[in-house]
Amino acid sequence: MSEMTSAVQNALVADEQLISVVENLQYYTGLFVPHVSPIENYGCGRQAAMALTNRRIIAILWDNNVWKWISISALNSLVERPLSRFKSGWPYQAILMIPGGICLVVQTQTNDAEHAKQLSSLLVQGFMRFSTRRDFDDGTLAAIIAHEEELERQRQAAADDDRKKKE
């Protein structure tokens, strides 16, 4: 058992069972409303691991100082970029849309087919267990509203600038 798997096993709560762990991953995080598009190809650089239990998905992320553990109990969507013969150098990549407007992009370090299969299996199982059943959660709606308010502030500021220049 690897050190990471052992650490996850030791951190489980009562009645929680470890299903799988995939290590040697890379990640990127951002806000998916409106900044992350599921059709983009993102560059990831920081170390990560993912674990699946019967109660949650655990994203274990290195921030260049410490490991941070994120417990994910729901997923809005999962977008996968499988390995492709057209882009043979690209690794497997997945985009997880987490309630609250957060996006987690996770990928294998290389285009290894077995590693890609392990990560895809973990994420698909997690999505089937923890996918949300409604279109938007409160955090996503708040992110959309905040973005629209910022766009309106920018439009208003531009209009004010134009008016001042004309005077």
Looking at domain 3-135, its CATH class is mainly beta
Q: Which candidate, 70, 32, 64, 30, places its Cα nearest to that of 47? A: 64
Residues 6+ apart with CB under 8 A from 96: 72, 75, 77, 78, 103, 104, 105, 106, 123
Identify the pLDDT of residue 141. Answer: 64
Each residue's pLDDT tens digit, 75-127: 988 999 999 999 989 999 999 999 888 899 999 999 999 999 999 999 999 99
Determine contact, residues 98/119, Cβ cutoff 8 Å. no
Residues 6+ apart with CB under 8 A from 101: 31, 32, 33, 139, 140, 142, 143, 144
30 or 90, greater pLDDT: 90
The domains of the chain are located at 3-135
Q: What is the DSSP letter of 40?
A: S
Does the pLDDT at position 134 exceed 70?
A: no
pLDDT value of residue 24: 96
Neighbours of 17 (CB within 10 A): 10
Residues 22, 116: Cα–Cα separation, whole Å? 10
How high is the pLDDT of residue 137?
60
The pLDDT score that the predictor gives to residue 52 is: 97
Alpha-carbon distance 84 to 91, whole Å?
Answer: 9
Nearest partner of 67 among 22, 21, 12, 7, judged by Cα = 7
Handedness of CA 96, 16, 122, 49 (dihedral sign): positive
